[in-house]
Amino acid sequence: MNRWGLLLGILFLILYAVPSNSHAEGTLQQQIDAVPSGGTILLKDQVYEETIVLSKPITVEGTAGTKIKACSKEPVIAITGQNVTLKNLQVENCSTVKATTAIAVSGEKHQLEDLQITANEFGIKLNGVSLSTITNIILTGKGKENGIDLWESSDNMISKAKIHRVQDGVYLEKSHRNKIIENDIQDSRYGIHLMFCDQTEVLGNLSKNNSTGIMIMGTKDTIVENNKLLENNKNVHAQGILLYDGINTRIINNQVSTNRVGIFVDHANGNFIEQNLWSENFIGMQMNQSHENTVRHNSFIGNVNDSQAVNSKGNTIEQNYWDQSLKLDQEGNGISIIPFASDPYFLALSSYNPEYQLFFHSPGMIVLQKLMKSDEKALLRDESPRMTPYVGIEQEENADTLLWILSFTMIMVGALFFIRGRRRVLS
């Protein structure tokens, strides 16, 4: 009996005293809680269906197929405290509750990188976050809420994110000194949306097929440089850049093409718009009640209307290239002696009735414009327009080369038909 009792005791210990793998691992949250501060947890190639909270310095890293998914009203991942790193994960928020989020962040010095996020509502929300980075994110939404949303969050960097089908791609409010660099934002309302933010840098981004490429409102000391704002023309109020009530904004060396309006400067004073390409837009530049701005060294090419301004005086407009202007270089210095002036008649008319835009450049509209000539003092004038576009605009140079080739080909074909026709007549 003693021998059998001993065997039964050993069997009991094996079955009950030693936990199975599933019990040893526990939930994902339990595994995270077991990692010491400063440690790393490497997740398996599987789907974890739960919400988690990261509240201590820790690195959570996935493998190729790691996904964290939750359909509750809580964030799929909540990050607080300091020095949390989250990388190489798929995150899915499948909740149908309004205003839920995939990743909610507070605190400082966090890093989010190499994440694929699918969100029914918000993608990433930063509330009171500083000194953190978000990079290499692929974020797809359903157009209901913002992709990356910052509230009172300063000194952060968002870079190399691909964001599609959200409300606003990157939205910042009361958040200062942030850097938005080399992101790709498409099929949304506003690509990048700044509200009451100072010293923001928006550099090297692509904003395409949105209602507005970049919206800047109530800001100071913003830098918008080397961005591509393309095909933002979803409605009559669409534009590449909307600058409203901005001060000391520097918009430099951007390509703004095939938008309804290239840039709309509205109630904005003391800004600098320099060395940009405005091409193939319905209206290149539009100003309303904006003063003391500098527009210099830009190229306006292939727009239906290069520029319009209403109630905007005291602006410095000089040495821009306007392909619609008459040009005469008397001094041989590349500057035309014929000033360029744009008439605000059409802008004033369409502001009362946007449907009039359908008749722009129609014979009747042109006649009305001649009959109701605007006051010369109200015109936007460039007293020293350039004879040629600025160098460095690769796409336009290529387009000009192609145009010359096509023109030469058509001339040669026409000449060939003409010669053959004459030979037949003479014979």
Residue indicated by tokens 């387009």: 399
Question: Would you place residue 20 in the very low, low, confident or very high pLDDT band (cuts 50, 70, 90)?
Answer: very low
CA separation for the pair 346, 355 (Å, rounded): 12
Q: State which amino acid sits at residue 124.
A: I
pLDDT tens digits, one per residue of 40-63: 999 999 999 999 999 999 999 999
Average confidence score pLDDT of the chain: 87
* pLDDT at site 380: 85
Q: Which residue has the higher pLDDT, 192 or 363?
A: 192
Question: Would you place residue 395 in the very low, low, confident or very high pLDDT band (cuts 50, 70, 90)?
Answer: very low
Residue indicated by tokens 């704002």: 229
Flag the least confident range among 60-69, 73-82, 157-166, 362-371. Answer: 362-371
Mean pLDDT to the nearest integer, 231-241: 92
Q: Does residue 195 carry a pLDDT above 90?
A: yes
Residue 105: strand pairing partners: 79, 126
* pLDDT at site 324: 87
Q: Does residue 420 carry a pLDDT above 90?
A: no
Ramachandran class of 234: left when φ > 0, alpha when ψ lies in -120 to 50, beta otherwise: alpha
How crowded is residue 75: how many other Cβ atoms within 10 Å of its Cβ?
A: 23
Residue indicated by tokens 């020095």: 83
Q: Does residue 217 carry a pLDDT above 90?
A: yes
Mean pLDDT to the nearest integer, 75-87: 98
Mean pLDDT to the nearest integer, 230-237: 90
Both tokens assigned to 102: 């995939």
Q: Which residue has the higher pLDDT, 67 or 26?
A: 67
* pLDDT at site 100: 96
How crowded is residue 269: how many other Cβ atoms within 10 Å of its Cβ?
A: 17
Per-residue HEC secondary structure of the chain comes to: CHHHHHHHHHHHHHHHHCCCHHHHHCCHHHHHHCCCCCEEEECCCCEEECCEEECCCEEEECCCCCEEEECCCCCCEEECCECEEEEEEEEEECCCCCCCEEEEEEEECCEEEEEEEEECCEEEEEEEEECCEEEEEEEECCCCCCCEEEECCECCEEECCEEECCCEEEEEECCCCCEEECCEEECCCEEEEEECCECCEEECCEEECCCEEEEEECCECCEEECCEEECCCCCCCCEEEEEECCECCEEECCEEECCCEEEEEECCECCEEECCEEECCCEEEEEECCCCCEEECCEEECCCEEEEEECCCCCEEECCEECCCCCCCCCCCCECCCCEEECCHHHHHHHHCHHHHHHCCCHHHHHHHHHCCCCHHHCEEECCCECCCCCCCHHHHHHHHHHHHHHHHHHHHHHHHHHHHHHHHHC
Both tokens assigned to 225: 């440089």
CA separation for the pair 199, 216 (Å, rounded): 12
Q: Does residue 371 carry a pLDDT above 80?
A: no
pLDDT tens digits, one per residue of 303-350: 988 998 888 889 999 999 999 888 898 888 999 999 998 866 666 666
pTM of the predicted model as reported, rounded to 2 decimal places: 0.83
Domains defined for the chain, CATH in brackets:
38-188 (2.160.20.10), 212-362+370-394 (no CATH)
Both tokens assigned to 427: 């014979």
pLDDT tens digits, one per residue of 114-129: 999 999 999 999 999 9
Both tokens assigned to 122: 């918000």
* pLDDT at site 244: 98
